[in-house]
Copies of this chain bind each other. A is one copy, B any other.
């Protein structure tokens, strides 16, 4: 009695989703992980593999990803000194998510182009 109809609870799903979104937010983090994942390990190569990214943004995102323990910045003590970016093993846990993002994007583009035919 005095029973109010309330909203359905979905926090068990929303909370972890938001935790994920907090880590991979923005346009650039997942693309950077993909680029390093296929073998780009130098700053300039990563930059050239991602259309539209500026060095400022790339530097900032690389720092964020390092702090989240998704990649490592490695200084190679040769002459001249080189910098190599490598994914941490933990970044592999993102693989299912990356495929889900990719698959949905492929399907979505199909849908959008079909609606113009």
Judged by DSSP, the binding face of A is helix
A residues 1-55 near B (Cβ < 8 Å) are: 6-11, 13-21, 23, 25, 27, 30-31, 34-35, 37-40, 44-46, 48-51
A34/B20 contact (C-beta < 8 A), A7-B45, A40-B8 known: no
Question: A90 on the interface (CB 8 Å rule)?
Answer: yes
Look across to chain B and name the residue whose beta carbon is closest to the beta carbon of A14: B31
A residues 83-117 near B (Cβ < 8 Å) are: 90, 93-94, 96-109, 111
**Copies of this chain assembled into the complex:** 2
- Alpha-carbon separation in the docked complex, A102 to B19 (Å): 8
Pick 15 A–B contacts, CB within 8 A, sort by A: A7-B45, A8-B40, A8-B49, A10-B35, A10-B40, A10-B49, A13-B38, A14-B49, A16-B103, A16-B106, A17-B98, A18-B105, A20-B104, A21-B30, A93-B104
